[in-house]
A = this chain, B = another copy of it.
Amino acid sequence: MANLTFEKEITALVVIDPCNDFISQGGKVWDRLKGVAEANQCIPHMVQVLDTARRAGIRVFYALHRRYRAGDYETWKYVAPIQQAAWKRKTFEHGTWGGEIRPELQPGPGDVVVAEHWCSSGFANTDLDLQLKKHGIHKLIVTGLIAHTCVEATIRYAAELGYEVTMVKDATADYSDKEMYAAIDVNIPNYASAIVTADEIVAAISLLAGAKVGTQS
Which residues of A approach B to under 8 Å, CB–CB? 59, 71, 75-82, 109-110, 112, 115-116, 118-121, 124-127, 129-130, 133-136, 138-139, 148-149, 152-153, 156-157, 159-165, 178-179, 181-182, 186-187, 189-193
- The chain B residue sitting closest to A163, CB to CB, is B78
Q: Which B residues touch A109, using CB under 8 A?
A: 71
- The chain B residue sitting closest to A125, CB to CB, is B127
Contact B125 A156 (CB under 8 A): no
Q: Which B residues touch A136, using CB under 8 A?
A: 77-78, 138
Contact A162 B134 (CB under 8 A): yes
**Please, how many angstroms separate the alpha-carbon atoms of A135 and B79 in the complex?**
10
What's the nearest-Cβ distance from chain B to residue A13, in Å? 15
Contact A82 B161 (CB under 8 A): no
Contact B134 A127 (CB under 8 A): no
Can you sample 29 A-B contacts with CB below 8 Å? Answer: A78-B134, A78-B139, A78-B162, A78-B163, A80-B165, A80-B192, A81-B190, A81-B191, A82-B190, A82-B191, A115-B116, A115-B127, A118-B160, A119-B191, A121-B156, A124-B157, A129-B161, A130-B162, A133-B161, A134-B162, A136-B138, A148-B186, A148-B187, A152-B187, A153-B156, A153-B160, A157-B157, A157-B160, A178-B186
Chain B CB count within 10 A is highest, among A121, A148, A160, A165, for A160
Contact B78 A59 (CB under 8 A): no
Contact B77 A135 (CB under 8 A): yes
Q: Kindly list the 8 A-B residue pairs having the minimum CB-CB distance in the complex, ordered from nearest.
A: A133-B162, A182-B182, A124-B160, A125-B127, A82-B190, A182-B186, A80-B159, A78-B164
